[in-house]
Amino acid sequence: MSSHSNRHQMVQKIANTQHQLEQIDFKHLPLKDLFGCNVFNEQVQRERLPKSVFKALQRTIKQGAPIDPAMADSIASAMKDWAIEKGATHFTHLFQPMTGLTAEKHDSFLQMEGPCQGVVEFSGKELVRGEPDASSFPSGGIRATFEARGYTAWDPTSPAYILESPNGATLVVPTVFLSWTGDTLDKKTPLLKSMEVLSHQALRILRLFGNKESKKVFTTVGPEQEYFLIDRAFYMARPDLIHTGRTLMGAPSPKGQEMEDQYFGHIPERIIACMADCEANLYKLGVPVKTRHNEVAPAQYEIAPIFEDSNLATDHQNLTMEVMRKTAPKYGLMCLLHEKPFAGINGSGKHNNWSMSTDQGENLLNPGDTPHDNAQFLVFCVAVIRAVAKYPELLRVSVSGAANDHRLGANEAPPAIMSIFLGDQLQDIMDQLEKGQPKSTIQGGFMEIGVSVLPKLPRDAGDRNRTSPFAFTGNKFEFRAVGSSQSVSGPNTVLNTIVAESIDFIATDLEKAVKGGKDLNKAIQDLLAGILKESKKVLFNGDGYCEEWHKEAEKRGLPNLRTTIEALPIITRKDSVDLFTKYKVYTEKELVSRYKILCENYVKTVNIEGKTAVMMAKTMILPAAIRYQGQIAEAVNATKAAGVDNTAQVGFLKCLTGSINDLQKTTGDLEKALGEHPHGDELAHATHSRDHVLAGIFKLRAAADTLETKVADDLWPLPTYREMLFIK
């Protein structure tokens, strides 16, 4: 059977497969019963814990009070009983190693009381601390492999939950992960530390404004997840998708996203069935997913939750990605979370909506109706502006990685230049503030729709902007540079820390002024005006894609770190080390380890792509092209023998042969680049990967894509863009 028939048969099979779409019955499992049913949440805690233990645990969760270890046994025992009623046989400490994924090792509740005499137990000790043999996780030099000891420690602020699987269920306890020496080995610990730092600093401002009640300030996050869903049969026939998450070759489809008919379009049946199944599973886990829609690119979609505190939002975001990956195959689909699975059409991001809130629920970035006289809002808002202006490179590096470079460094939204969009209303107030006391707020008013039966529509005071990497959107900032496959932990750790530093700076100045007898409002005005003068270079309300902005940004002195290689050295630069060590979010050793891990990760990612591209070129593309070349050559000989004018066929044979030569040449070059091992440190290796391996992949791709437009469709071995993106 020739390869062509395989591919065409695959399409036939997809067309004829009836998927079992109705798998969830919301009539019998209504949303309100489903939501949180597998979470050891506040309600379950209240029902199952002794009153004093319940109260103490809630104080830890809501106000950050330290947890009393003596309560652990009682909590563990209640958790175990609850979990076993839900069908759990095992428990696991879930942690977030620096691979960016989550890791888990399961233990059963079984304990032996005597020979053949088993009981189920879960002690406080087991809840509080685990010791996975963790020597194979990246530590960036923090631990040698022979020093394998690593601990997981219970995070009581993120509730435990039950993860159901086909045969049984597991009690999952969210934990942090650290080495025997106490160094942080995960992504959760720094995030928690950065949240505490910000809370501490923000409370200083609130106290100046007379707020004595708030005990904690939370950062809040609502991450919008973009992703692709394609038929699983296509995925399985693409080694590049399997091994690298993106297509390393593939000529553009004749129809792409230019008709703009996908965005917010009708959601196909199979897709919506899969979405609803994901949502049902996420509801059970207490993940408050809220919106779903078609995104800009064909086969691209989005899911977004209601925001939560950053720690919980991050855990829930990790769960969301896991549930999406797991659910798609039930509907014959595959969920692609890579930042750029398909060249030439939009990639996927994860818009990180971010704000700060008191434990009483006051959103500190809510401008109210008249922001110009909302001094507290102005203080917090200017603190964010100052932070982004002062540390744009740290924000950039927090979203770096080989995959996200295909979005940020390329001509796609958002650009790698970090700037802030404020919108007309807030920009106007900041302009006033820079010059003196702001006096007015531009109001949106009402829109006349012009149809008398329709109500008047309130108009927002400013338009939206889709190209800015960091946009104010009503009562929060939206950091849009985060990549779709990335954990939101790193970006939020950076964001919290740099904003905490700004708030610290402002609070220190204001406290001193007030102590010296200065009027608070006057002190605020003087201070903020000065900050804005220095920081306004980062404010930009125009089109972030266009060439003029790149030039303008350069004039303003804004950094443009196009690729991960330029961004990574920022991690260990003196000002970064000073910042993170001052606030005890990372030690210098931890920063160095992260730098090393990210360099290595870049090299590995690009090398896997390189090897996959070579393998596909040699064993799939070249054989198809040569088969076709043979067919043409035969035809040329036959026509010549028949005495027919075959100039055009000879020309085509030459042209095809030229393209085959290109493929072989670029494949050889890429193989050579993969074989070279440059001298120097990890950054030198990563630079080599970018400049020679990745560059080689692009060249090989160009040759392969040219061949795809020439070789007979029935010989082409790979599912095409046209098929993967449009056959649903």
Residues at the site binding ligand ADP, with contacts judged by CB under 6 A: 220-222, 224, 304-307, 353-355, 363, 473, 475-476
Could you tell me the smallest distance in angstroms from the CB atom of residue 478 to Mg ion?
5
Task: Say which entry of ligand ADP, Mg ion, none residue 476 contacts (CB below 5 to 8 A, set by partner kind).
Answer: ligand ADP
306 binds, among ligand ADP, Mg ion, none (CB under 5 to 8 A by kind): ligand ADP
Strand 217-231 relative to strand 168-179: parallel, antiparallel, unpaired? Answer: unpaired
Q: Which is nearer to Mg ion, 256 or 305 (CB)?
A: 305
User: Cα dist. 255→65, 654, 705 in Å?
Assistant: 57, 29, 16
Nearer Cβ to ligand ADP (53/482): 482
Name which of ligand ADP, Mg ion, none residue 419 binds, using a CB cut-off of 5 to 8 Å depending on partner kind.
none
> Which CB, 76 or 323, lies closer to ligand ADP?
323
CB of 714 to ligand ADP, least distance (A): 45
Whether the Cβ atoms of residue 466 and residue 332 lie closer than 8 Å to each other: no
Work out what residue 294 binds among ligand ADP, Mg ion, none; the CB cut-off runs from 5 to 8 Å by kind: none
Residue 490 tokens, joined: 């790193």
Both tokens of 638, joined, read 């036959």
Partner from Mg ion, ligand ADP, none binding residue 490, C-beta < 5-8 Å depending on class:
none
Chain-centroid distance, C-alpha 535: 27
Shortest spacing between CB 309 and ligand ADP, in angstroms:
9
Burial environment of residue 552 by CB neighbours within 10 A (0 to 12, 13 to 18, 19 or more): middle
Q: How far apart are the C-alpha atoms of 538 and 281, rounded to whole Å?
A: 41
- Which lies closer to Mg ion via its Cβ, residue 187 or residue 351? 351
Please, which residue, 295 or 405, has the CB nearer to ligand ADP? 295
State which residue, 466 or 533, has the beta carbon closest to Mg ion: 466
Q: For the window 667-686, what string marks contact with Mg ion as x by the rule CB under 5 A? A: --------------------
Cβ within 8 Å of residue 648, ≥6 positions away: none
Spatial contact of 419 and 558, defined as CB atoms under 8 Å apart = yes
Which of 22/369 has CB closer to ligand ADP?
Answer: 369
- The span from the CA of 169 to the CA of 166, in Å, is 8
* Residues 538, 422 contacting (CB under 8 angstroms): no
- Name which of Mg ion, ligand ADP, none residue 388 binds, using a CB cut-off of 5 to 8 Å depending on partner kind: none
687 is in the binding site of which of ligand ADP, Mg ion, none (Cβ under 5 to 8 A by kind)?
none
d(CA 239, CA 668): 19
Instruction: Name the token pair of 627.
Output: 């088969």
- Name the residue with the smallest CB distance to ligand ADP: 222
Are residues 420 and 471 in contact, defined by beta-carbon separation less than 8 angstroms?
A: yes
Asked whether the CA dihedral 31, 32, 34, 39 is positive or negative, the reply is positive
DSSP state at residue 399? T
Name the phi and psi angles at 61, rounded to 5: -70, -45
Nearer to Mg ion, 422 or 656 (CB): 422
Nearest residue relative to Mg ion (C-beta): 351
Residue number with CB closer to ligand ADP (500 or 620): 500
In the complex, what is the shortest distance from the CB of residue 320 to Mg ion, in angstroms, rounded to a whole number? 16
Task: Select 338 or 351, whichever has its Cβ closest to Mg ion.
Answer: 351
Cross-strand partners of 164: 169
Q: Which of Mg ion, ligand ADP, none lies near 425, with the C-beta cut-off 5 to 8 A by kind?
A: none
For the bound state, the minimum distance from the C-beta of residue 340 to ligand ADP, rounded and expressed in Å, comes to 22
Minimum distance between the CB of residue 296 and ligand ADP, rounded to whole angstroms? 13
Q: Segment 336-365, which members bind Mg ion (CB under 5 A)? A: 351
In the block, tokens 């220095």 appear at 534
Using left for φ > 0, alpha for ψ between -120 and 50, and beta otherwise, residue 481 falls in alpha
Sequence letter at residue 240:
D
CB of 443 within 8 A of CB of 461? yes
Q: How far is the CB of 424 from ligand ADP (least distance, A)?
A: 17
Q: Which residue lies nearer to ligand ADP by CB, 310 or 593?
A: 310
For residue 546, give the H/E element and its range: none
Nearest approach in angstroms of CB 370 to ligand ADP is 19
What single DSSP character describes residue 563?
S
**Rounded (5°) CA angle 674-675-677:** 95
666 contact, one of Mg ion, ligand ADP, none, CB 5-8 Å limit per kind: none
Residue 354 contacts which entry, Mg ion, ligand ADP, none (Cβ below 5-8 A, type-dependent): ligand ADP
Minimum distance, C-beta of residue 346 to ligand ADP, in the bound complex (Å):
16
The SS3 call for residue 180 is coil
Q: Which is nearer to Mg ion, 351 or 390 (CB)?
A: 351
Tokens 């040329």: give the residue.
Answer: 636
The token pair at 344 is: 């030439």
In the list ligand ADP, Mg ion, none, the entry touching 220 (Cβ below 5 to 8 angstroms by class) is ligand ADP
> Based on CB atoms, which residue is closest to ligand ADP, 127 or 378?
378
Half-sphere exposure of 366 (CA within 13 A, CB side): 9
- Residue 406 contact among Mg ion, ligand ADP, none, beta carbon within 5 to 8 Å by kind: none
Give whichever of 220 and 327 is closer to ligand ADP, judged by the CB atom. 220
Closest C-alpha to 322, from 266, 281, 381 = 281
* Chosen from Mg ion, ligand ADP, none, partner binding at 95 (C-beta under 5 to 8 Å by type): none
Residues in the chain: 728
- The H-or-E segment that residue 177 falls in is strand 168-179
CB of 358 to ligand ADP, least distance (A): 12
**Shortest Å distance, C-beta 29 to ligand ADP:** 24
Could you tell me whether strands 420-421 and 470-472 are parallel, antiparallel, or unpaired per DSSP bridges? parallel
Least separation in angstroms between residue 357's CB and Mg ion is 18
Q: Please name the residues in contact with 704: beta carbons below 8 A apart, sequence gap of 6 or more.
A: 249, 616, 617, 621, 663
Cα dihedral 472, 399, 324, 93 sign: negative
At its nearest, how many Å lie between ligand ADP and the CB of residue 294? 14
Contacted entry of ligand ADP, Mg ion, none for residue 467, CB cut-off 5 to 8 Å set by kind: none
Q: Report residue 492: phi and psi, to 5°.
A: -75, -30
45: its two tokens: 């805690």
Q: Quote the least distance from Cβ 304 to Mg ion, whole Å.
A: 7
Q: Which residues bind Mg ion (CB under 5 A)?
A: 351
